[in-house]
Chains A and B, each alone.
Chain A
Amino acid sequence: MVKVTVDGIPVEVPAGSSALQACEAAGKEIPRFCYHERLSVAGNCRMCLVEVSGGRKPVASCGFPIGDGMQIFTDTEVVRRARRAVMEFLLINHPLDCPICDQGGECDLQDQAFGYGADQSRYRENKRAVTDKYLGPLVKTVMTRCIQCTRCIRFSTEIAGVPELGGISRGENLEITNYVEKALTSELSGNLIDICPVGALTSQPYAFTARSWELKRTDSIDVCDAVGTNIVMHARGAAVLRIVPRINDEVNEEWLSDKGRFVVDGFRRRRLDRPWVRVDGKLQPASWQDAFATIATRLKSVPGERIGAIAGDMCDAESMMALKDLMETLGSGNIDCRQDGAKYDTSRRDFYTFNSGITGIEDADALLIVGSIPRQEAPVLNARIRKRFLAAGRGGFPIAMIGAPNADPTYAAEVLGAGPDTLVELADGRLPFADVLKNAKRPMIIVGHGALTRPDGQAIAKACWDLAAQVGAIAPDWHGFNVLHTAASRVAGLDLGLVPAPKGHDVAGMLDGGVDVLWLLGADEFATDRIGPKTFVIYQGHHGDAGAARADVILPGTLYAEKPGTYTNTEGRVQEAFRAIMPPGDAREDWRILRAFSEVVGRKLPYDTIEALRQRMMRASPAFGAAWARCGTSDTAGPQAGMVAMSGGPFHPVIADYYLTHAVCRASPTMETCSGIYVHPANQAAE
Chain B
Amino acid sequence: MSVQPNAPAGAEPTHFAFDAESEQQIAVILAKYPPERKASGVLPLLYVVQKQMGRQTGSAWIPRVAMDVVAARLEMAPIRVYEVATFYLMFNTKPIGRYHLQVCTTTSCWLRGSDDVTAACKAATGIRAFGETSADGLFTLTEVECLGACANAPILQVDDDYYEDLDGPRTLELIEALKRGERPTPGPTIDRLNSAPAGGRKVLVDDAAHKPQGQE
Q: Which of A168-200 contact B (CB under 8 A)?
A: 168-170, 172-173, 175, 178-180
Q: Which listed segment binds A: B81-89, B108-116, B123-131?
A: B81-89
Q: Given the complex of chains A and B, what is the CA–CA distance between A163 and B83 in angstroms?
A: 12
Q: Which of B1-41 contact A (CB under 8 A)?
A: 1-6, 36
Given A169-B87, A180-B64, A131 contacting B77 (CB threshold 8 A): no
**In the complex, what residues of B have CB within 8 A of residue A172's CB?**
2
Q: Which residue of B lies closest to A156 (CB)?
A: B79
B82 in contact with A175 (CB, 8 Å): no
B82 in contact with A163 (CB, 8 Å): no
Identify which of A166, A169, A175 contacts B79 (C-beta below 8 A). Answer: A166
Q: Given the complex of chains A and B, what is the CA–CA distance between A565 and B3 in angstroms?
A: 53
A163 in contact with B79 (CB, 8 Å): yes
A179 in contact with B2 (CB, 8 Å): no
Q: Which of B62-82 contact A (CB under 8 A)?
A: 64, 77-80, 82
Main secondary structure, interface of B, reads: helix
Q: Does A56 contact B (CB under 8 A)?
A: no
A166 in contact with B82 (CB, 8 Å): yes
A129 in contact with B79 (CB, 8 Å): no
A165 in contact with B79 (CB, 8 Å): yes
Given A163-B77, A180-B64, A168 contacting B2 (CB threshold 8 A): no
Q: Does A164 contact B (CB under 8 A)?
A: yes
B79 in contact with A179 (CB, 8 Å): yes
Contact with A along B174-200 (1 / 0, CB 8 A): 000000000000000000000000000
**In the complex, what residues of A have CB within 8 A of residue B82's CB?**
166, 168, 179
Q: Given the complex of chains A and B, what is the CA–CA distance between A131 and B77 in angstroms?
A: 23
B80 in contact with A129 (CB, 8 Å): no
Q: Does A130 contact B (CB under 8 A)?
A: yes
Q: Given the complex of chains A and B, what is the CA–CA distance between A131 and B6 in angstroms?
A: 12
Q: Chain A: how many interface residues by the 8 Å CB criterion?
A: 21
Identify which of A126, A128, A168, A173 contacts B83 (C-beta below 8 A). Answer: A168
Q: Does A167 contact B (CB under 8 A)?
A: yes
- Among the interface residues B1, B2, B78, B87, which one has the most CB atoms of the partner chain A within 10 A? B2
**In the complex, what residues of B have CB within 8 A of residue A179's CB?**
6, 64, 78-79, 82
**In the complex, what residues of B have CB within 8 A of residue A300's CB?**
none
Q: Does A394 contact B (CB under 8 A)?
A: yes
Q: Which of A82-129 contact B (CB under 8 A)?
A: 126, 128-129
Main secondary structure, interface of A, reads: loop
A506 to chain B, nearest CB (A): 46
Q: Given the complex of chains A and B, what is the CA–CA distance between A178 and B83 in angstroms?
A: 10
Given A163-B80, A165-B79, A166-B80, A394 contacting B3 (CB threshold 8 A): no
B77 in contact with A164 (CB, 8 Å): yes
B79 in contact with A394 (CB, 8 Å): no
A280 to chain B, nearest CB (A): 61
Q: Given the complex of chains A and B, what is the CA–CA distance between A172 and B5 in angstroms?
A: 13
A567 to chain B, nearest CB (A): 37
Q: Given the complex of chains A and B, what is the CA–CA distance between A338 and B83 in angstroms?
A: 49
A169 in contact with B86 (CB, 8 Å): yes
Q: Chain B: how many interface residues by the 8 Å CB criterion?
A: 16
Q: Given the complex of chains A and B, what is the CA–CA distance between A129 and B4 in angstroms?
A: 12
- Among the interface residues B3, B64, B82, which one has the most CB atoms of the partner chain A within 10 A? B82
Q: Given the complex of chains A and B, what is the CA–CA distance between A165 and B5 in angstroms?
A: 16
A394 in contact with B36 (CB, 8 Å): yes
**In the complex, what residues of B have CB within 8 A of residue A180's CB?**
64, 78
Contact with B along A282-301 (1 / 0, CB 8 A): 00000000000000000000
**In the complex, what residues of B have CB within 8 A of residue A169's CB?**
2-3, 5, 86-87
B2 in contact with A131 (CB, 8 Å): yes
Q: Given the complex of chains A and B, what is the CA–CA distance between A31 and B87 in angstroms?
A: 29
Q: Which residue of B lies closest to A163 (CB)?
A: B77
Given A180-B64, A394-B36, A167 contacting B2 (CB threshold 8 A): no
Q: Given the complex of chains A and B, what is the CA–CA distance between A172 and B3 in angstroms?
A: 10
A166 in contact with B83 (CB, 8 Å): yes
A370 to chain B, nearest CB (A): 28
- Among the interface residues A129, A165, A166, A180, which one has the most CB atoms of the partner chain B within 10 A? A166
Q: Given the complex of chains A and B, what is the CA–CA distance between A178 and B82 in angstroms?
A: 9
**In the complex, what residues of A have CB within 8 A of residue B77's CB?**
157, 163-164
B3 in contact with A164 (CB, 8 Å): no
A129 in contact with B36 (CB, 8 Å): no
**In the complex, what residues of A have CB within 8 A of residue B78's CB?**
179-180
A129 in contact with B86 (CB, 8 Å): no
A128 in contact with B79 (CB, 8 Å): no
**In the complex, what residues of B have CB within 8 A of residue A175's CB?**
2
Q: Given the complex of chains A and B, what is the CA–CA distance between A364 and B107 in angstroms?
A: 60
A647 to chain B, nearest CB (A): 38
B2 in contact with A128 (CB, 8 Å): yes
Q: Which residue of B lies closest to A395 (CB)?
A: B36
Q: Given the complex of chains A and B, what is the CA–CA distance between A380 and B80 in angstroms?
A: 25
Given A168-B86, A169-B86, A170-B87, A131 contacting B4 (CB threshold 8 A): yes
Q: Which residue of B lies closest to A171 (CB)?
A: B87
Q: Given the complex of chains A and B, what is the CA–CA distance between A175 and B83 in angstroms?
A: 10
**In the complex, what residues of A have CB within 8 A of residue B79's CB?**
163-166, 178-179
A612 to chain B, nearest CB (A): 56
A167 in contact with B83 (CB, 8 Å): yes
A161 to chain B, nearest CB (A): 10
**In the complex, what residues of B have CB within 8 A of residue A129's CB?**
1-2
Q: Which of A504-556 contact B (CB under 8 A)?
A: none
Q: Given the complex of chains A and B, what is the CA–CA distance between A211 and B4 in angstroms?
A: 34
21 pairs, CB–CB < 8 Å, chain A vs chain B = A128-B1, A128-B2, A131-B4, A163-B79, A165-B79, A166-B79, A166-B80, A168-B5, A168-B83, A168-B86, A169-B5, A169-B86, A169-B87, A172-B2, A173-B2, A173-B5, A175-B2, A178-B79, A179-B6, A179-B78, A180-B64
Chain B interface (Cβ within 8 Å of chain A)? 1-6, 36, 64, 77-80, 82-83, 86-87
Chain A interface (Cβ within 8 Å of chain B)? 126, 128-131, 157, 163-170, 172-173, 175, 178-180, 394
With A168-B5, A180-B64 known, 4 other A-B pairs at CB within 8 A are A157-B77, A165-B79, A166-B79, A166-B82
